[in-house]
């Protein structure tokens, strides 16, 4: 049976704060890498943001844009989604959609330097890009959560590469026994990730990629760089093995700022993989 694929371009930047660097990065990807591909775009407001509502900076714009993403995905009913951002917060709609479509038969690999596990109350910055995974797990602001199609269970999540966690995030990970695979473990063997996914028992995977997971000396084009990250080639090797081993239904490319490079190897590889889902 033929499957329907969707390339979703969603350059939401408000979740990362007042800077528009993520918007610039997303538009650079669109101009330099997406010219030959069909995609659906969620329009975003480019006006400055200043207001904090319900403990979330830029709340009203994020809520409106999340609703638009929900309607667009619901109308297209894809079987797979490649999501190009934009900030990590855009994940709440495509991940929850695929989880609902697969009736929970999905493992989510959150490849990121950060946990994205804050609640609006626990977040020190009030930036929504630090909250999407916790929102997906059912602890989000109620109106934004209503734009999702489903919620995840902690047992569906594997954290990969996190090395900058807030105390409430560490406590949540410990309390709910969420798998966390360190950079050191991956550098030792990417098979550690493959085995962790197999233990989950689902063949369907969604791979979230925040580019700040990478070694920031090798790839500095991110919003919140963290030292001692993953080597670029190792990330690409990991993605290749995951795609060969499991049914990849969703992939994302997030938190890119901008650079002078026109054909970055890492971006090109991830985009080729995403559009071919």
Q: Where does the pLDDT of residue 256 fall: very low under 50, low under 70, confident under 90, or very high at 90 and above?
A: very high
Is this structure's pTM higher than 0.95?
yes
pLDDT of residue 2: 66
- Domain spans, the chain: 5-275
pLDDT of residue 1: 60
Over residues 97-143, the pLDDT tens digits come to 999 999 999 999 999 999 999 999 999 999 999 999 999 999 999 99
10 Å CB burial of residue 209 (0-12, 13-18, 19+) is buried
Given a cut of 90, whether residue 262 has pLDDT beyond it is no
Given a cut of 70, whether residue 63 has pLDDT beyond it is yes
Structure tokens at 204: 């369907």
Q: Where does the pLDDT of residue 234 fall: very low under 50, low under 70, confident under 90, or very high at 90 and above?
A: very high
Task: Identify the residue whose tokens are 């969420």.
Answer: 178
127 to 28, 59, 64, 124, 155: CA distances (angstroms):
23, 9, 16, 8, 26
CATH architecture for residues 5-275: 3-Layer(aba) Sandwich (3.40)
Helices (runs of H) and strands (runs of E) counted in the chain: 10, 10
Q: Where does the pLDDT of residue 3 fall: very low under 50, low under 70, confident under 90, or very high at 90 and above?
A: confident
Task: Identify the residue whose tokens are 């830029």.
Answer: 58
Reading phi first (left if > 0) and then psi (alpha if -120 to 50, else beta), residue 86 is in left
Structure tokens at 236: 């690409």
**What is the Cα–Cα distance from 207 to 86, expressed in whole angstroms?**
16
Over residues 173-195, the pLDDT tens digits come to 999 999 999 999 999 999 999 99
Coil vs helix vs strand at 183: helix
| Lowest-confidence segment of 1-10, 87-96, 101-110, 151-160 by average pLDDT | 1-10
Given a cut of 90, whether residue 260 has pLDDT beyond it is no
């Amino acid at each position: 049976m033929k499957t329907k694929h969707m390339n979703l371009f969603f350059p939401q930047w408000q979740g990362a704060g007042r800077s528009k660097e993520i918007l610039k990065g997303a538009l650079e990807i669109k101009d330099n890498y997406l010219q030959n591909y069909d995609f659906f775009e969620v329009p975003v407001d480019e006006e400055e943001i200043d207001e904090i509502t319900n403990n979330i900076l830029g709340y009203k714009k994020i809520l409106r844009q999340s609703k638009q993403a929900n309607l667009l995905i619901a109308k297209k009913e894809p079987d797979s989604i490649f999501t190009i951002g934009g900030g990590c917060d855009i994940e709440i709609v495509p991940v929850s959609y695929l989880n609902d479509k697969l009736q929970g038969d999905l493992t989510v690999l959150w490849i990121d330097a950060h946990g994205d596990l804050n609640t609006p109350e626990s977040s020190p910055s009030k930036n929504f890009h630090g909250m999407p995974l916790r929102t997906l797990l059912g602890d989000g602001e109620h109106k934004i959560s209503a734009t999702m199609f489903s919620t995840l269970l902690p047992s569906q999540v594997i954290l990969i590469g996190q090395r900058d966690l807030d105390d409430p995030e560490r406590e949540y990970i410990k309390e709910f026994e969420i798998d966390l695979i360190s950079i050191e473990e991956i550098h030792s063997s990417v098979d550690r990730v493959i085995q962790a996914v197999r233990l989950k028992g689902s063949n369907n995977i969604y791979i979230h990629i925040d580019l700040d997971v990478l070694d920031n000396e090798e790839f500095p084009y991110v919003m919140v760089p963290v030292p001692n990250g993953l080597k670029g080639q190792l990330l690409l090797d990991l993605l290749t093995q995951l795609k060969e081993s499991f049914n990849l239904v969703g992939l994302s490319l997030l938190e890119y700022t901008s650079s002078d490079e026109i054909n970055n190897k890492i971006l090109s590889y991830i985009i080729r993989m995403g559009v071919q889902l």
